[in-house]
Structure formats: C-alpha cells, structure tokens
Structure 1
Amino acid sequence: NMIGILWVNDAVPVLRKNNNPFSRRLPSNTSRQEISKEHPHDRLLPIIYIIVFVIGLPTNAMAVWVFLFRTKKKHPSSIYMANLALADLFFVIWVPLKIAYHFNGNDWIYGEVLCKVLVAFFYSNMYCSIAFIACISVQRYWAVVSPLSQRQRDNCTAVAVSVTIWVVVWLVTIPLYLYDQEVYATNLKIHTCHDITRPSQKKVAAGYFLTMGIVGFVAPTVVCIISYVLMLKALRNSMADPNIAKRRRKAVVLIVTVLVMFLVCFTPSNIMLLVHYILLLNEARHNLYGFYITSLCLASLNSCFDPFIYYYISEDFRQHVKNTFLCRSERTVERMRVSFSALKYSKKSKSYSSSGKTGSTDC
C-alpha cells in the first residue's frame, strides 16, 4: 500500500502511506545515530553557523554603528554598505536558532512561526546582500568614470534605491510565510524546519525558488560582472600615469577579491537551489539534499566576510573603527585633526621662512 518515496536526504528514503499523506517512515532498523553517521554535514553545519555567529555578530554590529553614527559625510557607497551590514546583522541574530536546531538532531522545538521567520530572514539576507553588492559595484564604476558627480543627488538616489530593495525583498519573501516550513517526521518523532517539502506544496516551493534564482541571483550577478569588467577596463586605461598606478593596482586587487568572494559565497547555493528543486519537482530519487543544505550554510559565511571588505574598501571606515576601539569621540577626533593641521601648517611656515632667510643671505 505504499504509493511513493520522498527524500529527507539522499541516503534516507522516506515512505508515505495512503492513509496519512504526511507520515514519514524509515526502515525499522534505522536509528537517528546511524543517520548522523551517514551524513558528516550534520556535524559540519552547526560548526559553520557558530563561526558565522561569533564573527558576524560583533563585526556587523560594529559596521552598522560606524556607518550610522560615526560617519558624518555620507556618500552612496557608505549608504549601500550600511544597508548591507544591516541585512547581515538581521540574519546573524537568528543564527543561534539554526545552531540549536542542528545540535538537537534537526528537531525544531520553537514552533511553526519562528521556523517561517528564520527561513524568511535567511533568504531575505541572501537576496538583500546580492542586491546591495550589485549596487555597490555599479556605484563604484560610476565613481571611476564620473568622479565629479553631485554627491547630494547621488545620496538621494542611493537612499531611494536602498528603500526600494528592502521593500521588494520583504514582499518577495511573503510566500515563504504562506506554506508550511515545519513538517513532523513521525518515524523519527522530530519536527523539521525547511528540510521536508509537503507533496501538495512541492510545485509552489519549486516555482518560487526557480523564479528567485533567476531574478534574485542571475540578474544581479550579471550586473556585478559587467560593472567590474568595465571598471577594470577604465582603471587599466589610467595605468599610464605613474602617480596613480599604485593606487589603481590596489583597486584592481580589491575588485577581483570582492567579485571572487561574491561568486564563491552565492553561486554554489543558488545553483544547488535550482538543481534541488528541479529534481524535487521531477520526483527524482536523489535530489542532492546534502549538497543543497551545505551550500546554503556556506552562503551564510558572506555575513562574516562583508565587514572585512568594508574595512579595505573605505578609508573612512578604517579610521572610524580605530577611533571607536580607542574610545575617541567625534569631538576629540576633530580636535586632533585641527591640531595636526595646525602643526603641519606651522612646519610649512617655518620651512618657507627658513628658505627665505637663506635666499636673502645668498643675495
């Protein structure tokens, strides 16, 4: 009387009975310990999420603080980076629930609502991060080809674009709240969160993630690649000037680093999202669940990398971070800057005076 086989992961077939469409059964001799042994990623995932939380929480909190409260002169890059840091922070604060879930043997004990919130925040962070990184790439290209553009107008545009991204991303994550994310596996007696898709909702989930993979990843990735290629071309044309060649080379290295980080973090997860749900939709026996769930976990490492990218991109950010660690207020920093400028001016004046005296003696 068995009518089909679902898959919680690649190694464990889950049988569904006619009289209970949501009953998940494993072979009677299969234990939870055996399942963990067969899948090393069950132990790897919580370790990666712990790293994400321990590094991502303080660094992104620091980044948000610096961008919002310590950076006085706003510019488009800082506006986009502030929003990127905020998106990462919103994700990182929910990571402890993922850690507890995996340490608890993939048994979700926090209820359907929190499961949906966790899933929605995960994907909203992913698509917000991709969108804001694309915006940063376009803005940096624009700064290279048009360095004399009006800052105030550009700032207003950056704010409007940022608000639009947040609104659109939150709207497109609404479907994640509309279908079940928590499913009870009766044979294991555990509640899974975003690990099992009900047969009746399979088409909805597959259609959603296939659409988001194209709109939320492929399109911004094309924008990033085109922007960085054009930027590299523009920088290469200015390498003939020896005075700026060194600074340009540093910019090229940074561009390549950001692009590689972007592709490494987001390409595997989005490809596996597409492949996993295509296989699920076609009722394939193996839907590459292990690779899929591991690639999603690796994508969260982006929340750790972003603050270090800010540190190397923005000289103002580096200075504000140092001042924050040294507990210097903005007023103290300004006094130090004025004193330094006065001292520098005084030295120049003495130098000019000395050269003048020397000149009159020679005459």
Structure 2
Amino acid sequence: MLCPSEDIQYYQPAQEITMDYQMDAVANDSDYDWPHPTKNSTDFVLSGYDVELETKEGVRVSHVSMSVLNSSLTSVFIPLIYIIIFIVGLPTNAMAIWVFLIRIKKKHPASILLANLALADLLFIIWLPMKIHYHFKGNDWTFGEPLCKVLVGFFYGNMYCSTILIAFISVQRYWAVTHPLSHKLTNRVTVCVSVCVWIVVWIMTTPLYLYDQTVKVTKLNITTCHDITRPSQLNFPVGYFLTMGILGYVVPCLVCVVAYPLTFRSLRRSETDSSSSKKKKKAIIFMVIVLVMFLVCFTPSNIMLMVHYSLLSLKIRNHAYSFYIVTLCLGSLNSCLDPFVYYFISDEFREHVKNTLKCRSERSAERMKVSFTPVKTSTLSSSTPTGDSQSGSPPDTPQP
C-alpha cells in the first residue's frame, strides 16, 4: 500500500497545531507553509516531499505516491499482465478442474490436490476483470467498498492457498515415492487436508474484511482500492501481513525446499528397470518445475511484502512500493502457468484434455484405445502360458 511507505505525522487538534506553528515560525523566522488539517480531516496526514494531495478523509498523498498512482506502470503495464492471466488462465484452469473432477474416474491424491490448486487459481481469475478495470481507469475503484474487500481477499487467498497446496503436493510426492504401498490409501486423508487448507485460508484472509480498503483521493478524483491505508489503521495490516508472510510463504517454502530434494534423492537411489525410468524422469522434471515456479512466482512478492511492512513497523521511509506491486502482479502469473505444467508432465491429463477438446466421451475414447491394441494383446497372449487372462484387455471386451 502506498500510504504506509511514507512518513506519518499524527496531528494534534488544529488549534494546537496553529499555535505550535506560529511559535516555530517566530523562533525560526520561517515562511514554510505548514499543511493545516482541513475540516474533513481525521487525526492523520501523510507527509510528502514537495507536493501533497489531500483526500476527503484527511490523507495527504505525497508527490512520490501521486506519481505511482498516475504512472503507466499501474495504469498500462499491470492491467495488461492481468489481461493475459485472465485470457489464458480462465479456460485452462476450468479445463483442469473438469479433467481432474469429471474425466479422471480413478482419483488419486495428486489429482485431488491439483484440482484444489486449479480451483484456487480460478476463484482468483474470475475477479480479475474488476481489477483490470480499476487500473485502466487510473486506479479509480468504482465498485464500492464491499467488492474491493472481496477482491483483496481473493487475491491474497489465492496466493497463500496456492503456496500451502504446493507444499502439501511436495509432501504427497515424497510420501508416494517413499511409501508406495500405502500411497493408494490416502485419498480420504487428502480430501480432509484439502478441506482444512480452505478453512485455514478463509480464516487467514478474514481480517482483510475488517478494515477499510478504499480511500478517496480528492485532488486526483479517484478512489483507491488497497493502495492507500489510513495511518490510524496502520498497526493492524503491518502485523497481519508480516504474520501472513511467515505462515503463508516461509513455512510452505521450507516444506518444499526440504521435501523435493528428499524425494529426488529417494528416486535416484531406487532401482528401476528401463520401463519405469521414463516415469522417474518425468517425476523429477515435475518436481524441478514446481519448485522453480514456486520460488520465482512467490518469493519476490512475499519478500518485498515482509520487507515493506517491516520497514513500516520501524517507521523507516522506503520507496519500493512500485517494485512491490510489480512482484505481486508477476506472481499472479502462477495462476495461468499451472495448467501447462499439468499438461506437459502428465500423460493422463494430456490425453483427457485432447479427448475433451475433440468432444469425445470417456467411453468412446476407451473404445478407440482398445481398437488400436489387438496386435499387442495377441502377441502378449501367444507368448504367455496363461493366454487371455494376461492379455491386458478389459473383461467385457471381446477378443478379436
């Protein structure tokens, strides 16, 4: 938020300020034009550098803050990135949810967790048109305070739901590799874990609805959403976002950084034949891609978030807000990149996506698969003493 990045001066009543100013002016022979509070002001002002802009609530936004709000960075670049995320992420995540929940009949822990990850991405993406509209209008929010709170809640909810789910995916991958026999028995546990993640994220984001997210800047004639915070409410978001950064990023990051190398080491030590080496290679590629995406998408924004609010808690001026909002925007790219990871890594997911796009039902796709396998099954049956029982054909499928 812009306002916490500036120095904050808490005002005494206007009469006392006038008296103090007059005494200072006499003592220092100064002609400095002290910014008196307006009749609409509350008990705070944001001090600036050379230009100050006053809001109806009494906030004075500095020249630096004004330049950020009026820059092409926030009114052109950021909304264009969000447009790309919306156009790409909406259909791909909807397709991913359809495949994981409808097309894949035999559920397993990975598909359950990935379906929840796609759902978190989709719930964030459907609110992006309002954020795009906000930035294109010069950071002017026209949808009211409640919808601003919902947008902010879903924005951070998606980020931390994604980090926590990715952490559980890393644990699930490690468990599947090190305990393959009990792997198939964990679906119910995975569903319970997913429900708990959603409950925890809902609790974590609830405080975002408890304080005002919109502030009207009168001289710019705009109403900001989450970009300016009243100093009277500053202590709450400082403690809140520092806690969120630790619980929502640092802890999941440590889990991923520990779990994926352990899984990689276990895979390298396991003895496999040539038929399973391809699966092992794909598993390793999947782990590397997920870990890199996690670090690239979530690390810059969360580090900037914690640094930004740490400096605010120490009342140290910083001008890194522009970089902070850019990292948040680029971190949202994770929402449209996830489905491509599923597609290129999972043969099953890729096959279901192709069949869905070709409007093939699962039954017709299965028939086509069977129709192309008679030579292979007959060869297997002729080379094994058990005949049709080991041919690999479905029980109800007649032999050619």
1:59 to 92, 95, 104: 92
In 2, Cα distance between equivalents of 1:72 and 1:240: 28
Per the alignment, residue 284 of structure 2 pairs with: 252
Per the alignment, residue 321 of structure 1 pairs with: 353
- The TM-score normalised by the length of structure 2 is 0.79
What letter corresponds to residue 75 of structure 1 in structure 2? H
Q: Tell me the CA shift for residue 193 of structure 1.
A: 0.3
In 2, Cα distance between equivalents of 1:300 and 1:147: 34
What SS is found at the alignment partner of 1:197? coil
Per the alignment, residue 369 of structure 2 pairs with: 337
Per the alignment, residue 90 of structure 1 pairs with: 123
What SS is found at the alignment partner of 2:246? helix
1:24 to 60, 65, 73: 60
Within 5 A, what are the aligned runs for 1:342-361? Answer: 342-349=374-381
List alignment gaps of at least 5 residues for structure 2: 1-33, 37-43, 386-400
Is 1:229 aligned with 2:269?
A: no
2:324 to 289, 292, 307: 292
Per the alignment, residue 112 of structure 1 pairs with: 145
- Aligned residues of 1:26 and 1:187 also touching (Cα < 8 A): no
In 2, Cα distance between equivalents of 1:173 and 1:137: 24
- The TM-score normalised by the length of structure 1 is 0.87
Count of residues paired in the alignment? 345
In 2, Cα distance between equivalents of 1:129 and 1:135: 10
Q: Tell me the CA shift for residue 288 of structure 1.
A: 1.2
Coordinate RMSD, CA, aligned: 2.7
1:238 to 263, 270, 289: 270
Per the alignment, residue 234 of structure 2 pairs with: 202
**1:213-262 deviation digits (Å, cap 9, x = unpaired):** 00111001101111101011112213686554454333323211211111
What SS is found at the alignment partner of 1:74? coil
1:211 to 243, 251, 256: 243
Is 1:46 aligned with 2:99?
A: no
> What is the identity percentage for the equivalent residue pairs of Structure 1 and Structure 2?
57
- Aligned residues of 1:239 and 1:245 also touching (Cα < 8 A): no
List alignment gaps of at least 5 residues for structure 1: 354-363
What letter corresponds to residue 2 of structure 1 in structure 2? P
1:165 to 184, 187, 197: 197
In 2, Cα distance between equivalents of 1:140 and 1:119: 32
In 1, Cα distance between equivalents of 2:77 and 2:360: 41
Is 1:301 aligned with 2:320?
A: no
What letter corresponds to residue 301 of structure 2 in structure 1? S
Moved more, 95-104 or 342-351: 342-351
In 2, Cα distance between equivalents of 1:209 and 1:282: 15
In structure 2, relative to structure 1, the CA distance for the partners of 1:102 and 1:330 (3 Å cut) is same
Per the alignment, residue 391 of structure 2 pairs with: none
In 2, Cα distance between equivalents of 1:314 and 1:333: 17
What letter corresponds to residue 23 of structure 1 in structure 2? V
- Aligned residues of 1:131 and 1:220 also touching (Cα < 8 A): yes
In 2, Cα distance between equivalents of 1:230 and 1:295: 29
In structure 2, relative to structure 1, the CA distance for the partners of 1:36 and 1:349 (3 Å cut) is same
Moved more, 261-270 or 240-249: 240-249
In structure 2, relative to structure 1, the CA distance for the partners of 1:213 and 1:7 (3 Å cut) is farther
What letter corresponds to residue 138 of structure 2 in structure 1? G
Per the alignment, residue 7 of structure 2 pairs with: none
